[in-house]
Amino acid sequence: MSMIITSPIRGWAATLDSVPDPVFAQRMMGDGVAIQPLGDTVVAPFDGEVVTLHDAGHAISLRSAEGAEVLIHIGLDTVMLKGKGFTPLVAIGDKVSRGDPLIRFDLDAVALAATSLITPVIVTNTEAFAISRRTVDCAIGACEALMTLVPVQAEARRRSDDGTIVEQAVTLALPHGIHARPAARIGETARGFEAEVHLMNGDKRGDARSTVALLALGTAFGDEVVVQTRGNDAEAALAAIVALLASDMGEGAPAATPVAAIAVQILRTGQIGGVIASPGLAMGPAARLRQAEIPVARDGKDAAEERAALLAARGDVRGQIAGRADSADGSIAAVMHAHLALIDDPELLAGAEKRMAEGRSAGFAWRGAIHDQIDAIRATGNAHLIERIDDLVDIERQLLSALTGTPIEGAAVPAGALVVADDLLPSQLVSLAAAKPAGICLARGGPTSHVAILCAGMGLPALVAMGDALGGVEDGVPLLLDAEMGHVTVAPSPANIDAFTARLAKRAARREAAQSAAKDACQTADGTRIEIFANIGTVDDAVLAAAQGAEGSGLVRSEFLFLDRDTAPSEDEQHAAYQGIADALAGKPVIIRLLDIGGDKPAAYIPIAHEENPALGQRGIRVALAHPALLKTQLRAILRVQPVGQCKIMIPMIASIDELRQVRALVDRLRGEMGIATPVEVGVMVETPAAAMTADLLAAEADFLSIGTNDLTQYVLAMDRGNPAVAAGVDAMHPAVLRMIGEACRLATARGRWVGVCGGLASDPAALPILVGLGVTELSAVPGFVAEAKQIVRGLTLIEARAHAELALQCKSATEVRALARAFEETRR
Ligand code: PEP
Ligand code: MG
């Protein structure tokens, strides 16, 4: 009986010979047709079952009721995109009907990023089915006939089999696991022997001659795979397959940077660089954390039982998180509350329920639901949201741990050690913190992730985005973590250790002195007043900031009130929050930044059309001016705060004076309507090179200027602050950024306006002398750094700070500036 395979996508059908990849063109994986796609959704080519779905979402295979196995591989080299641009709409094991959507993908993005969009549709079990008719060299619509298959009589394979099985474990060196291309190579090699060859990954076992079986093993880089052979030439087959698996098969990446090469790199430089997520210094032995996935059974016992198990596990996890939230404050408590919301998230619960109703176990269902959300977030391409994936993975692990009784790693780190890990989840960090580690080094992660925020809140020095070189750091090796300069020294010399110990002692003394004078006002040693404020988002933060000695808030990130909700907060709700912050700061100045939505901070109820470059699109004041009702509500809420004038208004993302004029006019109009005679200050943020270079024009009409070094750095250096690929270069100590800050100060102070810094640079101890030297007179830092910032400023004279800043402006790189800052600090022992 023949069967029809219809086209999984609209496009141009061509022969496999036209595919610029020998794996497909030479039929290594099987026979079929290639389609140059014109649509963005792959649909089922027959009624059947999903057999494999690659993690990267670019390849799927299905089995028909007749037993035909078909692989659809969207584009070439698309495994490298690691899922970016692909949204799978089904899961392994799902039953599908012809025409059901399987994978949606971003045609433009994938076309730009991949070698080719050409999509081979391959019958992988050609030993069982032959193609009797195929459609090629013409346009084809989805669900139109593509191939006709006829079953073939499988040729019985003769074996001289003595029954002995030989096996060997091998650690997979393929950077993306066994995906389509390596599967074809393995199959081809296996077919060169008479012996049966099977690969095993955990409890999954697959015939090495079957591409689909190999894909279904679901392997990843570093997995331990067991090769089993049996038959006449079993030994030779074993050796050949093991050698192949231990190589990277020409795919480069992680295994191609072997530990030996990493060791050479470490020995040569002695240092591994990273991005500062939380400043500080720490010394101690490396404590490596390796995380294994918690295994769960695919199928459940009975839907009611699985539901009950999930409910109980959610209850346990809720209790644990609530306990942690109660004993935390500020940003740590905020992260815990975000996790509490995830445990009861209706989308996650619906996703899990659907799977349990289909017979899946509670753990499998929860993991599937979480991964649906992760895929959806990845598909947005929004770097800020993608950093939040950590929180979903964290909730997945916590729940699976409760469900299966598998302990979560982390608590076993020795006190005083430096935790070295590929990445860390927020809950792991919180449980690790109890063991009192000295610092954190992560190969991945971003400087604005929740883990980074938590480390800063705990005062735990941390470097992130350290890359593969960190993989070469052995457990127990001594490390010096310099999260002021942004590197780790591996196996330091005695001289390194002495110098570092002296820096640590000095830092500790400064912190101690700082705490005892935390509440005092702050001026340089020669009498220049420098105000030390704190950045806050909530009333809790304001309470913490006041306790740390903050003289006010230089940045209230009001958008925290607007994010992660379905509607904008009302005037009353906003007023209550602003009044709470003003009260907590007891009459001290509070600078409320107007809503800074857009770019990396989206809000669902403020629709912004898809943008090619969100960082250069609708964000900050541009969004607020495009939604006058929203802006008016926020301004009214601020103007209602008592006493009038305590709260000042700050405008984000100013690029031209016209934006300031529009806001000022609205403030004045509202004051008139509300009968407020007291003037209310309106200042601008300097986050764009345009604002920095026209600071004199802005200063003529603004009451103050505050430099947002996070955005200013990304726009001056043209490096996305949320893109881990360029994270190592996004350093506000770059001389170009410092020159921009210096120029803004010069232009604005000539007009009699004060200039502050509220970006991350104000919380960097190495930067403060330079900022003061450049003319900054207000620093708004993270609350935990306020007391120390005051102490650093008190130890400076304006004259030496100016001379130091002058030298910094002449440096050739951020690294040189940081070395200069170190030398400056050394001189004041
Ligand atoms: C900045 O850009 O430096 C800033 C303070 O704003 P945010 O980090 O919130 O964008
Ligand atoms: Mg900003």
Q: Which two tokens stand for residue 350?
A: 């619906």
Mean pLDDT of 606-633: 91
Could you identify the atom of ligand 1 that is nearest to the CA of residue 759? Answer: 3
| Pocket perturbation via mutation, ligand 1, pick of 596, 619, 755, 778 by most ligand atoms within 8 A of CB | 596
Evaluate whether 28 touches 22 at the Cβ level (below 8 Å): yes
Q: How many CA atoms lie within 13 A of 174 on its CB side?
A: 24
Neighbours of ion ligand 2 (CB under 5 A): 687, 708, 711
Radius of gyration of the chain (CA): 30
Q: Three-state SS across 293-346?
A: CCCCCCECCCHHHHHHHHHHHHHHHHHHHHHHHHCCCHHHHHHHHHHHHHHCCH
What are the DSSP calls for 499-535, one per residue?
Answer: HHHHHHHHHHHHHHHHHHTTTS--B-TT--B-EEEEE
Q: Is 804 a catalytic residue?
A: no
pTM of the model: 0.57
Residue 462, beta-bridge partner list? 278, 440
- Nearest residue to 209 via CA among 199, 218, 219: 199
Residue 537 alpha carbon to ligand 2 centre in Å: 14
The whole-number pLDDT of residue 160 equals: 37
Q: Is the CB of 731 under 6 A from ligand 1?
A: no
Q: Taking the CA atoms of 776, 778, 784 and 788 in sequence, report the sign of the dihedral they define.
A: positive
Which distant-in-sequence residues (6+ apart) come within 8 Å of 356 by Cβ? 300, 303, 306, 307, 310, 362, 365
Q: Is 710 in the pocket of ligand 1 (CB under 6 A)?
A: yes
Residue 736 CB coordination number (10 Å): 13
Please enumerate, as own/partner, the contacts of 686-690 that have beta carbons within 8 Å and a separation of 24 or more.
686/654, 686/712, 686/744, 686/755, 687/620, 687/652, 687/653, 687/654, 687/711, 687/712, 687/715, 687/759, 688/653, 688/654, 688/655, 688/712, 688/715, 689/715, 689/716, 689/740, 690/655, 690/656
Q: CA-CA distance, 109 to 426, in Å (whole number)?
A: 31
The predicted pLDDT at position 331 comes to 62
- pLDDT exceeds cutoff 70 at 525: yes
Is the distance from the beta carbon of residue 37 to the nearest atom of ligand 1 less than 6 Å?
A: no
pLDDT at 383 over 70: no
Strand partners, 447: none
- How many whole angstroms from 652 Cα to the centroid of ligand 1? 8
Task: Please tell me if the CB atom of residue 687 comes closer than 6 angstroms to any atom of ligand 1.
Answer: yes
| pLDDT, mean of residues 414-428 | 86
Between residues 127 and 145, the one the model is more confident about: 145
Q: Tell me how far apart the alpha carbons of residues 53 and 71 are, in angstroms, rounded to a whole number.
A: 10
Here the tokens at position 563 are 């994010």
Distance from the alpha carbon of residue 406 to the mean position of ligand 2, in angstroms: 41
pLDDT at 19: 84
Q: Looking at per-residue confidence, does 411 or 142 come out higher? A: 142
Q: Is 758 in the pocket of ligand 1 (CB under 6 A)?
A: yes
The whole-number pLDDT of residue 376 equals 77
Q: Could you tell me the distance, in angstroms and rounded to a whole number, from the CA of residue 339 to the centre of ligand 1?
A: 24
The CB of 709 under 6 Å from ligand 1? The reply is: yes
Weakest-pLDDT range from 501-515, 564-578, 644-658, 791-805: 501-515
708 lines ligand 1 (CB under 6 A): yes
Rounded to 10°, the helix 426-433/389-404 angle is: 70
Q: How far apart are CA 129 and CA 31, in angstroms?
A: 10
Residue 535 has pLDDT above 90, yes or no: yes
Neighbours of 346 (CB within 10 A): 8
Cβ proximity of 174 and 248 under 8 Å: yes
pLDDT score of 795 more than 70: yes
Q: How far is the CA of 663 from the centre of ligand 1 (A)?
A: 19
CB neighbour list of residue 528: distance below 8 Å, 6 or more residues apart: 772, 777, 798
The DSSP H or E segment spanning 88 is strand 86-88
Band (353; pLDDT cuts 50, 70, 90): very high
Helix residue ranges per DSSP H, 571-682: 571-584, 621-626, 628-639, 657-674
The pLDDT confidence band at residue 610, using thresholds 50, 70 and 90, is: confident
**Block residue for tokens 């593509």:** 146
- Residue 720 Cβ contacting ligand 1 at under 6 Å: no
For 581-585, what is the mean pLDDT? 97
The residue-averaged pLDDT of 376-389 equals 68
Question: Active-site residue among 441, 758, 804, 811?
Answer: 758
- Alpha-carbon gap, residue 144 to 9, rounded angstroms: 9
Q: Do 138 and 12 touch, CB atoms closer than 8 A?
A: yes
Q: Is 557 in the pocket of ligand 1 (CB under 6 A)?
A: yes
Index of the ligand 1 atom closest to the CA of residue 711: 2
* β-strand partners of 575: none
Q: Please tell me if the CB atom of residue 759 comes closer than 6 angstroms to any atom of ligand 1.
A: yes
Give the pLDDT mean for 201-220: 80
First vs last Cα of the chain: how many Å apart?
A: 88
Who wins on pLDDT, 754 or 224? Answer: 754
Residue 486 scores a pLDDT above 60:
yes
Tell me, what's the pLDDT at 780? 97
Best mutation site among 453, 591, 622, 710 for ligand 1 pocket (most ligand atoms within 8 Å of CB)? 710
Structure confidence at residue 220 (pLDDT): 79
Where residue 426 falls among pLDDT bands split at 50, 70, 90? confident
Cα 714 to ligand 2 centre (Å): 10
Q: Which of 73, 179, 198, 450 is catalytic?
A: 450
Domains assigned to the chain: 3-151 (2.70.70.10), 165-246 (3.30.1340.10), 261-291+410-492 (3.50.30.10), 303-404 (1.10.274.10), 523-606+615-827 (3.20.20.60)
What's the pLDDT at 663?
A: 98
β-bridge mates for residue 784, sequence order: none
- Long-range residue pairs from 614-619, CB within 8 A, at least 24 positions apart, any chain: 614/382, 615/714, 615/715, 615/720, 619/653
Alpha-carbon separation of residue 601 from 286, 557, 574 (angstroms): 35, 11, 18
pLDDT for 126 equals 81
Atom of ligand 1 nearest to the CA of 555: 5
pLDDT of residue 448: 63
Q: What pLDDT was estimated at residue 715?
A: 96
Residues 6+ apart with CB under 8 A from 674: 636, 639, 640
Report which bound ligand comes closest to the CA of 601. 1
For residue 707, which atom of ligand 1 is closest to its CA? 3
The pick from 623, 654, 685, 711 for probing ligand 1's pocket by mutation, whose C-beta has the most ligand atoms within 8 angstroms, reads: 711
216 vs 532, residue with greater confidence: 532
- Split at pLDDT 50, 70, 90, the class of 174 is confident
**Which of the ligands is closest to the CA of residue 712?**
1
Least confident range of 133-137, 540-544, 725-729: 725-729
CB 564 within 8 A of CB 601: no
> CB neighbours (10 Å) of residue 660?
21
711 lines ligand 1 (CB under 6 A): yes
Instruction: Please give the Cα distance from 18 to 160 (Å, whole number).
Output: 40
Q: Please tell me what DSSP assigns to residue 727.
A: G
pLDDT score of 356? 94
Measured at the CA of 525, the angle between CA 519 and CA 528, to 5 degrees, comes to 80
Look at residue 159 and tell me whether its pLDDT is greater than 80. no
pLDDT at 267: 33
- More confident of the two residues 748 and 606: 748
Average pLDDT, the chain: 86
Percent of the chain at pLDDT > 70 equals 92
For residue 302, how far is its CA from the centre of ligand 1 (angstroms)?
A: 51
Mean pLDDT of 788-798: 94
**Which are the contacts of 498, defined by CB distance < 8 A and separation ≥ 6?**
none
User: What pLDDT does 91 receive?
Assistant: 94
Residue 628 clears pLDDT 90, i.e. is over it? yes
Task: Name residue, tokens 């659907």.
Answer: 354
264, pLDDT greater than 60: no
- Tokens 């969004």 sit at which residue? 623
Give the mutation target among 448, 449, 557, 761 for probing the ligand 1 site: most ligand atoms within 8 A of CB.
557
| Segment among 335-349, 353-367, 761-775, 799-813 with least mean pLDDT | 335-349
Query: Are 178 and 217 spatial neighbours (Cβ–Cβ below 8 Å)?
Result: yes
Q: Whose CA is closest to atom 8 on ligand 1?
A: 710
Q: How much of the chain exceeds pLDDT 90, in percent?
A: 47
For residue 644, report the distance from its CA to the centre of ligand 1, in Å.
Answer: 26
Q: At a CB cut-off of 8 Å and minimum separation 6, what does 658 contact?
A: none
CA of 709 to the centre of ligand 1 (A): 7
**Strand (E) or helix (H) holding 64:** strand 59-64
| Mean pLDDT of the 210-227 span | 80
Res 115 pLDDT > 90: no
Query: CB within 8 A of 525, min separation 6: which ones?
Result: 794, 795, 796, 797
The pLDDT of residue 269 is above 60 = no
143 catalytic? Reply is no
The response to whether residue 280 sits with its C-beta less than 6 Å from ligand 1 reads: no
Label residue 673 by pLDDT band (50, 70, 90). very high
The pLDDT of residue 256 is: 30
Q: Which of 51-60, 93-102, 204-213, 576-585 is the most confident on average?
A: 576-585
Lowest mean pLDDT among 6-20, 176-190, 570-584: 176-190
Residue with tokens 């006829």: 150
Cα 508 to ligand 1 centre (Å): 29
Average pLDDT over residues 492-515: 88
Closest residue (by CA) to atom 6 of ligand 1?
A: 708
Residue 829 — very low, low, confident or very high, per pLDDT cuts 50/70/90? low
